[in-house]
Structure 1
Amino acid sequence: MPDERASGVILFRTTPAGRHYLIIKNRIGGHWGFPKGRLEPGEDELQAALREVREEVRITRLNLRPEFRERLAYRFVRDREVVNKEVTLFLAATDEEGIAEGSEIMALEWLPLPQALARLTYPEQRTALLRADAFLQALPRAEG
């Protein structure tokens, strides 16, 4: 059983230059990742993920791919205690740019896959992005 549960969204958009993924830089720790955060009481994973995207990058128009769901489980140390964390990532397209404002996000970038992979801080998030991209590659052209 995880000590902490969080969820978020791997956001992408397709432009004439190709598919780009949204990567954010967090103020605390300065790591690069996806918009995500802890579940609040009464929320399910999807509700929390959508709330986090609204709060962190101000994106509200999403075309969710409900068939894709990636679970990450890892441990980290906080205040000398080991925390078991489980994160569920969803996948969604958007036509919005997003805004890096507020107390949690320092910056955001839309990057093609190779640059997004290089920018992500944690290997489990790189794996999730590779799986999301493979999922999109397997879709019929009009859907991905």
Structure 2
Amino acid sequence: MNIKPTLSAGVVIVRHFDDQYRYLLLRIRDYWDFSKGMVEPGEDPLAAAIREVEEETTLIQLDFRWGHAFTETEPYGKNKIARYYVAESAEGEVFLPVTEELGKPEHEEFRWMEYDAAFGLLVPRVLAVLDWAGKII
């Protein structure tokens, strides 16, 4: 029996620093990823991705200047697929707010990283997303 994978959605967020793009990475324990979270029943995946970015980082007004193209991971973990879009955040401070559910921030750290530095921190599943985003921007 094939069980349909659950879908999460997120955004590879970039920002210009010193004439180059840097990628926003978030850390939980020793695992780095882009902002993402579960798509609620009936929710549009892009709307879910935007909601998750705001909930996890407080960033708003993302510029999807490269359109709404996305990439998806192969199923992983407990039959989950992650869909990622690419957007620029030209302004706004990243803040990792305390979540009601956890009583602490969902992520422990964030970093704006150059492509090569980000490449060294990511697992293969997320590296493929970074590579895809790098080709778009």
Please confirm whether the aligned pair reaches a TM-score higher than 0.5, indicating the same fold. yes
Aligned residue number for residue 71 of structure 1: 72
- Once the two structures are TM-superposed, the CA of residue 119 in structure 1 deviates from its matched residue by 1.8
Aligned residues: 127
Specify every segment of 5 or more residues in structure 2 that has no aligned partner in the other structure, as ranges. Answer: 99-104
Q: Using the alignment, how far apart are the partners of 2:73 and 2:111 within structure 1?
A: 22
Aligned residue number for residue 114 of structure 2: 112
> Relative to total residues, which structure has the larger strand share, 1 or 2?
1
Equivalent runs, 1:1-144 vs 2, <5 Å: 2-26=4-28, 29-64=29-64, 65-76=66-77, 83-95=78-90, 96-102=92-98, 103-120=105-122, 122-136=123-137
- Once the two structures are TM-superposed, the CA of residue 73 in structure 1 deviates from its matched residue by 1.8
Q: What do the CA deviations read for 1:79-107 (whole angstroms, capped 9, x no partner)?
A: xxxx2111110000002231123231111
What TM-score results when the alignment is normalised by the length of structure 2?
0.85
Contact 2:56-2:97 at 8 Å conserved across structures? yes
Q: Using the alignment, how far apart are the partners of 2:56 and 2:4 within structure 1?
A: 24
Specify every segment of 5 or more residues in structure 1 that has no aligned partner in the other structure, as ranges. Answer: 77-82, 137-144
Q: Using the alignment, how far apart are the partners of 1:85 and 1:99 within structure 2?
A: 27
SS class of match (2:59): coil
- Once the two structures are TM-superposed, the CA of residue 23 in structure 1 deviates from its matched residue by 0.3
- Once the two structures are TM-superposed, the CA of residue 2 in structure 1 deviates from its matched residue by 3.3
SS class of match (1:109): strand
Read off the aligned partner of 1:91 and give its amino acid letter: V
- Once the two structures are TM-superposed, the CA of residue 41 in structure 1 deviates from its matched residue by 2.1
Superposition CA RMSD, Å: 1.5
% identity of equivalent residues = 27
Read off the aligned partner of 1:92 and give its amino acid letter: A
Read off the aligned partner of 1:109 and give its amino acid letter: R
**Structure 1 ranges of 4+ moved more than 6 A:** none
What TM-score results when the alignment is normalised by the length of structure 1?
0.81
